[in-house]
Structure 1
């Protein structure tokens, strides 16, 4: 009898309600799954299912391609491997002509359950376990294409055949939390967007998800393990502004029916890049697991009732906090882009436009390039380069390197032992906490100190490496309200707040007494300079 000889196992809860809400309760126990496309009713036992085989007609080549895209790495090219169940789980999946496949996909003229659409049977030891049927009673499934209803239906029913249920069905482990019961998180949801009806989809013709989404991937990885060999090299992901095509290492992976992008990326390792250099829109890129990125509003899926998908591309969730699945790098486009990194050591590069780039944690490299950019390294030892334009660079925590490039820039080191280089332009350099090296380079630069803690009076003082008397400024006006008495080469007066300068070898030491007790509370060192003047200070 067909469909026999396969084993299943009971599913236990993962502890994540988002994942548990789409777990049916059983899944396949075999490490290798097979699937087939029966062409005659004789390949089914008459007692299988609800008599669908009586109206069987074979899956079309397009249905076979959609199922192959969803299930195995052998279909298509290496570019689409990461979107397949075999590519992101520990399962090995093979197409077969044998009758006893775990999963069988066919069309039918029957509608025994009154669905009028398509259905899939959950994993079981019954002959019908894993069977997927596409009924033509109410809809023609013969030509599925990414982004369309027929395409998502094939993936959805295969999800049932693998052990996933609907997000709104209470089932074994309860429902998916309200905010996640929607297509942009799981294609097992009947809701087009969070809070929508579960009766039917309201998506536009080409507004459906183009791949398994983050909760589907997480649930299937929970059931069958995660595969870190897929796209484990240095993978480059690109998208086409004029067609919505997804390209992996230069090869087409998803070619949608219209210019929409609506998919989730799973990547097994390596140093990977989202390359959006073809775009001139204002990008919002977020590399955190489970986050979404927007490339172009025109490419967002239309979900109905005026609702748009939150993003074009979503990042998969991490399995067990394993960082191998993170995307490390971004190359932005010509618009005013916003880029957020993650916990990896990110390389985040702006292009033209006024970009805002935040590295978050990790030892990041942030490059603004042209435009008036804002760069924030976040936690970790970061390298920030503003490029051309009037940029704002913030090192935050860690021992950071900030390079303003051309333009009148503002550089703030934050905490840590930082290197700030203004380069061309009239720059403002604020070292912040820690022993910093400040280099203004070309232009009339201002070295600003906000608190006494920014530069200790003695062994851990900040250094200004290229101060040019008569051109640059030392701004101490924020240290205390009021004014200082300035003594060029003289001692503290001990009668009130004062600033003194003293020669120390080839250098000049600047010290400040903030409370008038005659003792230094603050100090900086001007390297390799013979003299300063009162006009060099802002007090």
Structure 2
């Protein structure tokens, strides 16, 4: 995610990082590290407590505290400080010492404070999950120091189920898995695949946004400057939120709400009663219209109330120049809804459905 390359060597180099362990002392600290520029023999070194009574660092496995500790201390050796002016070796700091509200482990592995302070929840099955990789604010900070690396996952990448990232913290294989990560992606056509989860989820594809995935809250985020094109929901009642790219959004089973936003999107509700939401006429316009790929009349709905504000539509055979005129046509099993919201006598909103739609399916 940054222009840093790690190469294992015995010694030497201008930016050598050394890892060590200790069994006691250091005022009971679980780990500590030295920032660059501390001094010869110190900078680039990090130390980890390992003894019979403290074993977290001995096995820094996925989602455990030892893995987060390792990531945190590596952050220090690369030049990242805590988000605020506090340190475990200086007094008894608390969240009151935070310099800004987002100084939590929901935004940064460099923080001391629980994600609950920012209304997030990384607990599942009574077990707290910790991030094993850099989070949203860490990515921004390390890129400010070293520059953003756009060759990282520059191809078509899938995160979650069916992951091809080669990273355990970006991957899921079971509904019981706990995902805590922030996406940095250099390009390609990318997908958040949370199809294996049964809980109700919120999946948001916008940069600098958070998603509620697999029964947790605010546990998946997308870093600033990243475009993820596609999302796949699970078997719960999911909310899928697109961005201004041409998204492919698949709700899966359950009664889903799908909002494509800008771009020419392909939308699948899946089984269940699904609602396709449009908040602005520009969300689906002639020349860049959305397609609802599996519409079932009587079960699914097209919700335009975000545009009409409850004023309704006037279904006509031809536009009259009145704002709110709508034409619904069907040919070969495909319905097309055209609406003149501006009152110029031509459609400024258009959406098509694979599967015949009826006037009663449109909420305005």
Q: TM-score, normalised by structure 2?
A: 0.72
Query: Is 2:41 aligned against 1:134?
Result: no
Structure-2 separation of matches of 1:473 and 1:99: 73
**Range with greater deviation from structure 2 (153-162 or 258-267):** 258-267
Q: How far does residue 127 in structure 1 lie from its aligned partner after superposition?
A: 2.1
Higher RCO structure (Cα 8 Å, ≥6 apart):
2
Query: Is 2:233 aligned against 1:332?
Result: yes
Structure-2 separation of matches of 1:453 and 1:248: 42
Query: Is 2:64 aligned against 1:148?
Result: yes
Q: How far does residue 441 in structure 1 lie from its aligned partner after superposition?
A: 6.2
Which residue is 2:354 aligned to? none
Question: What is the aligned counterpart of 2:204 among 271, 282, 286?
Answer: 286
Structure-2 separation of matches of 1:432 and 1:352: 39
Which residue is 2:224 aligned to? 317
Query: Is 2:17 aligned against 1:93?
Result: no
Secondary structure in 1 aligned to 2:7?
strand
Q: Which whole-Å deviations, capped at 9, do the CAs of 1:66-119 have from their partners, x for residues lacking one?
A: xxxxxxxxxxxxxxxxxxxxxx001222111124552111112353x4243110
Q: How far does residue 161 in structure 1 lie from its aligned partner after superposition?
A: 0.6
Question: What is the aligned counterpart of 2:140 among 193, 205, 218?
Answer: 218
Query: Is 2:348 aligned against 1:348?
Result: no
Q: How far does residue 454 in structure 1 lie from its aligned partner after superposition?
A: 7.1
Question: What is the aligned counterpart of 1:391 among 300, 320, 338?
Answer: 300
Q: Which whole-Å deviations, capped at 9, do the CAs of 1:490-514 have from their partners, x for residues lacking one?
A: xxxxxxxxxxxxxxxxxxxxxxxxx
Q: In the TM superposition, what are the counterparts of 1:116-131 in structure 2 within 5 Å? A: 116-124=29-37, 125-131=39-45
Structure-2 separation of matches of 1:461 and 1:154: 57
Q: Which whole-Å deviations, capped at 9, do the CAs of 1:379-423 have from their partners, x for residues lacking one?
A: 34331415225222246899xxxxxxxxxxxxx899xxxxx9xxx
Q: In the TM superposition, what are the counterparts of 1:16-415 in structure 2 within 5 Å? A: 88-100=1-13, 102-111=16-25, 113-124=26-37, 125-136=39-50, 139-140=54-55, 141-169=57-85, 177-193=99-115, 195=117, 206-239=128-161, 248-249=163-164, 253-254=168-169, 259-297=177-215, 300=216, 310-318=217-225, 325-378=226-279, 379-380=282-283, 381=285, 382-385=289-292, 387-388=295-296, 390-394=299-303
5+ residue gaps, structure 1, are 1-87, 197-201, 240-246, 301-309, 319-324, 399-411, 415-419, 421-430, 463-471, 479-539
Secondary structure in 1 aligned to 2:115?
coil
| Kept after mapping to 2: 8 A contact 1:353/1:372 | yes
Structure-2 separation of matches of 1:461 and 1:143: 61
Q: How far does residue 154 in structure 1 lie from its aligned partner after superposition?
A: 0.8
5+ residue gaps, structure 2, are 88-96, 349-357
Structure-1 separation of matches of 2:76 and 2:338: 63
Q: How far does residue 234 in structure 1 lie from its aligned partner after superposition?
A: 1.2
Structure-2 separation of matches of 1:133 and 1:159: 13
Q: In the TM superposition, what are the counterparts of 1:512-531 in structure 2 within 5 Å? A: none
RMSD over aligned Cα atoms: 4.0
Q: Computing the radius of gyration over CA atoms, which structure comes out larger, 1 or 2?
A: 1
Count the aligned residue pairs.
Answer: 312
Name the CA shift for 1:435/1:94 in 2 (closer, same or farther; >3 Å). Answer: farther
Structure-1 separation of matches of 2:45 and 2:347: 73
Secondary structure in 1 aligned to 2:101?
helix
Q: How far does residue 273 in structure 1 lie from its aligned partner after superposition?
A: 0.9
| Kept after mapping to 2: 8 A contact 1:347/1:365 | yes
Q: In the TM superposition, what are the counterparts of 1:413-492 in structure 2 within 5 Å? A: 433=323, 437-440=327-330, 460=346
Structure-2 separation of matches of 1:262 and 1:153: 15
| Kept after mapping to 1: 8 A contact 2:157/2:164 | yes
Q: Which whole-Å deviations, capped at 9, do the CAs of 1:140-190 have from their partners, x for residues lacking one?
A: 32211011111111111111111111123169xxx8654211101001111
| Kept after mapping to 2: 8 A contact 1:279/1:333 | yes
Q: TM-score, normalised by structure 1?
A: 0.50
Q: How far does residue 225 in structure 1 lie from its aligned partner after superposition?
A: 0.5
Structure-2 separation of matches of 1:282 and 1:205: 19
